[in-house]
Amino acid sequence: MKILRLLLVIILFLPEWADAQSFYAVRRERSIIGSVGIGTATYFGELANPGNYLDAKPSVNIGMQYFLTNRVSIRSDLTWFQIEGDDAKADDASRVRRNLSFKSNNLELNAMGSINLAPHGDRYYQRPRLNFYALAGVGLLYSNPKTEYLGQVYALQPLQTEGVKYSKFQFVIPYGLGTRIMLSPFANLAIEGIYRMTFTDYLDDVSAVHLGSAAFSDPIAGALSDRRPELGLPEATPGTRRGNPEANDGYMLLQAKLEFYIPDDVFWNSNSKLYRSKRKAYYKKRR
């Protein structure tokens, strides 16, 4: 009985398996690109050291891209990344005395357009071996800054350490440059540096002024609003500058991505007129 079931499964899935073997057939049209990437995330804000443009915090990315023309494409990416800042590591003595810190795991979903410097050929495998591109778009960011206090981790957004209620969701504007290297007819290596302009100064929970511990009914919120007493220093006078509200926070992702050209008929009907006649494969191996 088990053998019969196994044979039935094989019979049902054999056509799909056979079709999968032709996934790398050059003649199949491919205007869709899937990608996976890893890289670093660098945060810019009140708890970052000036001039620190390349931080070692991790980022992971998956995405899809579709070429509208041989030069213009649209894409969407989902990225997880981590950012952090710590006054204890600052090269400024006044910041060390401020003694604030945060760490945040973040998710960003975006939609972007890309313009390539050199046009692609009529078919996907006729693209240049090396190409440069610029891209920009809009994204939605989820960010939840946290800090450690007395051996326990606290989410800072609910505590309102400056008396300001802000959202964990923020719009961002990504823009940057990239280069794409052809690895094979079906794959590329892309390297990108993309900055994110945000509309918030609270990625790090630091922006305006100290309110004083007396302004908080929650003792944890009061303690995390001013952490100078942990260093044996007196509390800051209410109204003392805590951050810089004149400039919003931002972040930059530097990533290396592996791109795969996916057959169009994986996503839509391959029985259309486009596929009724067998296409010739014009790809020739380059020396």
Contact 111, 74 (CB under 8 A): yes
Sign of CA pseudo-dihedral 149, 239, 98, 244: positive
pTM of the predicted protein model: 0.83
Position 91 in a domain: yes
On the question of pLDDT at 5 being above 70, the answer is no
3-state DSSP assignment of residue 158: helix
Q: Read off φ and ψ for residue 286, nearest 5 degrees.
A: -85, 145
**Which tens digit of pLDDT belongs to each residue from 158-215?**
999 999 999 999 999 999 999 999 998 889 999 999 999 999 999 999 999 999 989 9
User: What does the pLDDT average to over 217-233?
Assistant: 96
Find the CATH number of the domain harbouring 101.
Answer: 2.40.160.20
Contact 245, 175 (CB under 8 A): no
Position 100 in a domain: yes
Owning domain of residue 215:
30-263
User: What does the pLDDT average to over 94-98?
Assistant: 94
Position 60 in a domain: yes
**Which tens digit of pLDDT belongs to each residue from 108-122?**
999 999 999 998 877
Position 106 in a domain: yes
Position 244 in a domain: yes
Position 20 in a domain: no
Give me 176's structure tokens.
């940057």
In single-letter form, the type of residue at position 26 comes to V
The count of domains in the chain is: 1
Q: Quickly count: other Cβ atoms within 10 Å of residue 139's Cβ.
A: 21
Strand stretches in 22-127, DSSP E: 32-44, 57-67, 72-86, 101-116
Please give the Cα distance from 135 to 133 (Å, whole number): 7
In single-letter form, the type of residue at position 162 comes to E
Position 198 in a domain: yes
Which residues are 134's β-sheet partners? 115, 177
Position 18 in a domain: no
For the ranges 126-130, 216-220, 275-279, the one whose mean pLDDT is highest? 216-220
